[in-house]
Chains A and B, each alone.
Chain A
Amino acid sequence: MSRVHAPRGLAELLALRADLPGAALMAGGTDLVPRSRARGGLPEDVILLQDVPELHGITSGKGLLRIGAAATHAALLADPRVGRGLPVLARALACLASPAIRNMGSIGGNICTASPAGDTLPPLHVLEARVELAGREGVRELSLAEFILGPGRTALGPGEVLCAVLVPRPEGFSLQHFEKVGLRGAMAIAVVSLAAMLRLDGRGRVAEARLAWGSAGPAVVRCPAAEAALLGRRPTLSALRAAARHARAAVRPIDDLRASAAYRREVAGNLLLRLADLSSR
């Protein structure tokens, strides 16, 4: 039988975390519970994050949004600063799992699970979000690329907790898009996904492009060559086809039961072509 702890504040949480280094943190439990049960049971100690108010708030700061790690996907979608202000993230949240899982699952849980198919990760990469980690020794900040080391592996220290996700407010990115290819409409794990943000100049040419693919490698794939291929050009089909060639060369997908690596590579490039339709509207 596991012991279940329910700290009522961040200080209490950090003290418990330091005392029980083997304990599992549990926000929504939508990854932890099925994964542990499949392995024969929950760890000896489970620390619930549901009653730690510091981890749930969403606050606007200087040019950025600070999202508490335990904020649920549903809470984020209901907040206009995300729903309207960060369309690339909102689109990913809207197709993550199912409504009940969105009521339970948290953004911090999605990040710490570090799944190559984690739907919030490509959007958070293009938004250049950072994570704030707290431990007894203090607080530190990492980029997402520094935090996520590989499938299921993060830089979270033994006594640390992911407290918040810091998202700089994107200025001037008129085109923000997320698309996931799955095996069905609802409850689909990504076969491949793309998050894209384009900043266009007065003449409709790409001044900055940020592109990130999910389920296309052990972690999110950014492709500077594809981004550079778009610079100074309108996002037309021919420009996007050139970028797509770079993308197909950059991704490192695997074969699994959902799709072959070759299919993923093809689709990773094809997803870029959608941006032509979106920018011509």
Chain B
Amino acid sequence: MTIRFLLNGREVACESAPDRRAVDLLREEFGLTGVKEGCGGGECGACAVLVDGSARLSCLMLAAQLAGRSVVTVEGLGTAEAPHPLQTAFAEHGAVQCGYCAPGMLMAAADLLARDPSPDREAIAGAVSGTLCRCGGYGKIVEAVERAAEAMRPGPVRKALRKKRGGA
């Protein structure tokens, strides 16, 4: 079948068996190897992508389920030139050791920050609780998400500027 969807903000279409795993489609048809496969069974969170804004596990999704949706992978979160604040914070705060879990961690964190711009450490730990880091770097990961949340929150200056412009 032809599957059309929005991938990292771009309209795409590809031919695929409808029951192909979404993780394979994204990696093999689109070269998005930031989508990692760890366990293939929902246990590790490495394959998480954002589907219509919420983190889902691409190893448990079928290609046909992507039709008509908006999918964001770690490659679409930010670019090397203009990284997402989460990506900057992960790099700056030593939240990446081998890096295998990082894409899944970033997706889980992006989902959280979209719903809750000021999460406490407990909320952050809860949000990444389904993503395994076998290097054991959870402390730094939680700290990086905290720093990213701070960077993304409108501070007093940004708030004042927005008010002046008459924005929300």
Q: Which residues of A approach B to under 8 Å, CB–CB?
A: 1-4, 6, 26, 28-30, 33-34, 37, 42, 46, 48, 50, 74, 97-101, 103-104, 185-187
B18, B56, B60, B126 pick with most chain A CB within 10 angstroms: B60
What are the residues of chain B within 8 A of A28 when measuring CB–CB?
A: 60
Q: A34 is contacted by which of B17, B41, B62, B64 (Cβ under 8 Å)? A: B41
**In angstroms, how far is the closest chain A Cβ from the Cβ of B131?**
8
Is B34 interfacial (CB-CB < 8 Å)? no
**Contact, CB under 8 Å: B130 / A100:** yes
Complexed CA–CA distance, A1 and B62 (Å): 12
**Contact, CB under 8 Å: A4 / B56:** no
Residue of B nearest to A44 (CB): B19
**Contact, CB under 8 Å: B129 / A103:** no
**Contact, CB under 8 Å: B57 / A100:** yes
Question: When A33-B60, A100-B57, A187-B43 are in contact, do A46 and B19 touch as well, CB less than 8 Å?
Answer: yes
Complexed CA–CA distance, A255 and B62 (Å): 35
Q: Which residues of B45-102 are within 8 A (CB) of A?
A: 45, 48, 54-57, 60-62, 64-65, 67
When A and B form their complex, what is the total count of cross-chain residue pairs whose Cβ atoms lie within 8 Å? 78
**In angstroms, how far is the closest chain A Cβ from the Cβ of B111?**
7
Please give 20 more A-B residue pairs, beta carbons under 8 A apart, in addition to A1-B19, A101-B130: A1-B17, A1-B18, A2-B18, A3-B18, A4-B18, A6-B67, A29-B60, A34-B41, A48-B64, A48-B65, A99-B55, A99-B108, A100-B111, A100-B130, A103-B55, A104-B56, A104-B57, A104-B61, A186-B126, A186-B129
Question: When A3-B18, A34-B60, A187-B43 are in contact, do A100 and B55 touch as well, CB less than 8 Å?
Answer: yes
Q: Which residues of B approach A to under 8 Å, CB–CB?
A: 17-19, 40-43, 45, 48, 54-57, 60-62, 64-65, 67, 108, 111-112, 126-127, 129-131
What are the residues of chain B within 8 A of A30 when measuring CB–CB?
A: 42, 57, 60
What are the residues of chain A within 8 A of B42 when measuring CB–CB?
A: 30, 34, 97, 101
**In angstroms, how far is the closest chain A Cβ from the Cβ of B35?**
13
Complexed CA–CA distance, A33 and B22 (Å): 12
Question: When A33-B60, A50-B65 are in contact, do A185 and B19 touch as well, CB less than 8 Å?
Answer: no
**Contact, CB under 8 Å: A100 / B48:** yes
**In angstroms, how far is the closest chain A Cβ from the Cβ of B22?**
10
Complexed CA–CA distance, A101 and B129 (Å): 11
**In angstroms, how far is the closest chain A Cβ from the Cβ of B38?**
13
Complexed CA–CA distance, A271 and B71 (Å): 43
